[in-house]
Amino acid sequence: MNMQEIRWGLELEMVKISREKAAHAVQSVVGGNVRYSGGMYDAWECEDLRGRKWKLVNDNSLSNVPQHLRAELVSPILTYEDIPQLQEIVRALKRAKATVSEQCGCHLHIDAAPFDAQRLSNFAKIFYKQENLILHAFGVQQQRLARYTRPISYDFIQQIESRKPKTKDELNRIWYGYQNTNPQHYDQTRYRTVNFHNVWFRGTIELRLFEASLHAGVIKSCIQFSLALAMKAFNSKTACSRKRDFNPTSAKYDFRVFLISSLKMNGDEFKTARYHLLKNMPGDAAWKNGRPVRLEA
């Protein structure tokens, strides 16, 4: 599998803009028609020229602003070639005066249909091993990690390692602690950096860790990282889950090696992503133990 084959979707939270105005901002990029669809999320939507629906819904977690100034963009199913258009939508929302607050998040959904239990286990183990570096690279707030985006459970990883699930049903029992044949939307297991609850509820692997941004390059970086991780998990026969420590001296070097060697995020295509993913990391990208000090003659 390559990244171009992976189907995905995005949820992006923002404030200081009405859902109607946000829907019209989307329409300015994708064309089509805007309408009020209402329902429990008081939604507006834009049906683009390809018949795909871009929804703007209310999110009650954005409690620092009035309800009419809360908007969560829910994309239709997208592919790699849709990234540039999504970036234009982000720019249009910013021009329409949308902003993000500390409460706003961004979630990526990866189509779980092609992933069997082994590949889903790979995904969890690869992420878990690098989790300390990943969370630092994306600047995830401690308050998010404490509630809506808790790190992957050590017990979940240990159960995968010991029981080696062969089917999604076996993985289901490990994730929930019992066979859950009727997953509900707001199941408490969903609040993880990697949310496997959605594998059975919606058919996606959900990455919940990202801070919201209306910087098109940052959003592109989140998408490319997620797709590269999914590609690595899908194509690997197995994966190691031994947790990598966060070393401030070598963090930037370690993460750059992970991006380039493991996730194949090298070359000009990923230049923007490498910049945004490494800019917050301490250390030196070229020297594992820090740049040598040159002694004066």
Helix boundaries (H) for the chain: 19-30, 83-95, 117-137, 142-146, 154-163, 168-176, 197-201, 216-235, 251-257, 271-278
* The pLDDT of residue 291: 80
Residue 265 domain-assigned (yes or no): yes
Residues 24 and 3 in one domain: no
| Percentage of residues of the chain with pLDDT beyond 70 | 99
Domain boundary among 36, 63, 98: 98
Backbone angles phi, psi at 120, to 5 degrees: -65, -40
Q: Give the pLDDT band (50/70/90) at residue 2.
A: very high
- CA-CA distance, 216 to 13, in Å (whole number)? 14
d(CA 223, CA 274): 12
pLDDT at 3 (0 to 100): 95
Residue 290 has a pLDDT of 81
Per-residue pLDDT band at 297 (split at 50, 70, 90): low
With respect to residue 75, please indicate whether it lies within any of the assigned structural domains. yes
Instruction: Assess whether 162 and 282 both reside in one domain.
Output: yes
pTM of the predicted model as reported, rounded to 2 decimal places = 0.96
Which of 76, 98, 120 finishes a domain?
Answer: 98
Looking at the 3D structure of the chain, how many domains does it have? 2
With a cut of 90, say whether residue 48 has pLDDT above it: yes
Domain limits for position 3? 1-7+112-203+215-291
DSSP 78: B
> What 3-state class would DSSP assign to 1?
coil
Residue 1 has pLDDT above 80, yes or no: yes
Same domain, 120 and 224: yes
19 closest CA partner among 59, 54, 69: 69
Given a cut of 80, whether residue 295 has pLDDT beyond it is: no
Same domain, 56 and 117: no
User: Looking at the predicted structure, is the pLDDT value of residue 157 above 70?
Assistant: yes
Same domain? For 238 and 93 the reply is no
Same domain, yes or no: 77 and 165: no
Distance, CA of 11 to CA of 57 (rounded, Å): 10
pLDDT tens for 219-266 read 999 999 999 999 999 999 999 999 999 999 999 999 999 999 999 999
Looking at 74, 98, 122, the residue that finishes a domain is 98
Q: Average of pLDDT values for 7-14? A: 98
Is 80 exceeded by the pLDDT of residue 163? yes
Q: Are residues 67 and 117 in the same domain?
A: no
Calculated CA dihedral for residues 206, 210, 211, 216, nearest 10 degrees: -100
Asked if 282 and 169 sit in the same domain, the reply is yes
CA distances to 5, 59, 75 from 20, rounded to whole Å, are 33, 14, 15
Whether 293 shows a pLDDT value over 80: the answer reads no
- Phi and psi based region of residue 290 (left: phi greater than 0; alpha: psi -120 to 50; beta: remaining): left
pLDDT at 171 over 60: yes
Domain match, 117 and 264 both: yes
Residue 106: inside a domain, yes or no?
no
Region 155-171: what's the mean pLDDT? Answer: 98
pLDDT of residue 296: 64
